[in-house]
Amino acid sequence: MIKYLKKYCDILAPSGMEDALRTQIIKDIKDSGCTYNTDSVGNLIVFKQGKNRRNKKVLLSAHMDEVGFMITKIDDDGYLRFNMVGGIDRRVVSGKRIVFCESGIQGLVSSKSIHMQTPEERGKCEPLTEMYIDIGATSREQASKYVSIGDCAAFMPNYTELGNGLICSKAIDDRFGCAVLVAMINSQLEYDTYFAFNTCEEVGCDGAKVVAHFLQPDIVIALESTTAGDVAGIPENKCACKVGNGAVLSIMDRSTIYSKELLELAVSAAEEKNIKWQYKNVIAGGNEAGVYQRAAAGAKVLAISAPTRYIHSQSNIAALADMEAVAKLSAALNERSFD
């Protein structure tokens, strides 16, 4: 899993522009003996035959897209106005370097410097309408040679090992999930298994909706990143999970109540295999598991997540040990027949 992680984190793939990542994933699985296809909205759906058949259709799912930026206007002076693709806190945007997917052009998200602010403006986070992207152009005509309205960008790749087993990177959500699935596909499986690498999770789980109706799985295990609360200023009762405490199992979030049967099975597998795990202790967020639960004929769903600090920013921080715990727990569950 780890050998794929940096490669996937460094690829630019905001929602709706997952082509480069999908192409790389296909290169990494094409010799595994699996079958795969890409649907009309860009999802990559994979089937890998195991040593045994299952009575139920089991799907492991992760999303390919990351949060990003889309140009909405080019000013006369060459600055680019933009909007978010996905849920990004505007406080983590200004001053960040970005890269445009189509052209590879680099830019800087900027706003009025402190020296030019009024006393009333100082200490406040600028509204999005007052931020802009600077690519070094001095006119609309010059900027338009390199970018167009509708072009998308992502945070500049910055994968770094911090020490103590921690990594810092953009897009750990959910490139780590993709890396886990690819490693599983390239291994020998006990049972037949479906895998989905979905598009557009960050803007409404649109890809998962299509996969759910096409495959109609009975059981879905969604691999995700989730917000870690072990940061300064967060009281213990609001700390959803902690980096370093293992794989995260969710009981309920804002999109679904997870299958009690699958939760019990996951806890049992973790204890049996001595895999470090923790519950998500705050009801917050959501992911594509909720879509699978409600779409088509419905499905039993489980989410296994890696605790990640500063999610949806340029600098997510996660522990390799936690991601390995997710990979081991996912593999342990996939050894079950689910009959």
Give 11's DSSP letter: S
Identity of residue 2: I
Nearest to 289 by CA among 229, 212, 228: 212
Instruction: Please name the residue that has the structure tokens 């009333």.
Output: 120
Helix, strand, coil shares of the chain as percentages rounded to 5?
Answer: 30, 25, 45
Rounded distance, CA 109 to CA 93, Å?
7
Residue 101 token pair: 């997917």
From the CB of residue 148, how many other CB atoms can be counted at a distance below 10 Å? 13
Which one of 66, 201, 202, 288 is the catalytic residue?
A: 201
Active site residue 120: no
For residues 264 and 256, give the distance between their C-alpha atoms in angstroms, rounded to a whole number: 17
Q: Alpha-carbon distance 61 to 178, whole Å?
A: 8
45 forms beta bridges with 37, 196
Strands 219-227 and 58-63, by their bridges, are parallel
Q: Residues with Cβ < 8 Å from 320, sequence gap 6 or more?
A: 2, 165, 166, 167
292/57 Cα distance (integer angstroms)? 13
Distance CA 17, CA 27 (A): 18
Strand partners, 197: 44, 62
Phi and psi, residue 252, nearest 5°: -160, 145
Residue 306 to residues 145, 287, 317, Cα–Cα distance (Å): 41, 13, 10
CA separation for the pair 272, 192 (Å, rounded): 23
Active-site annotation, residues: 201
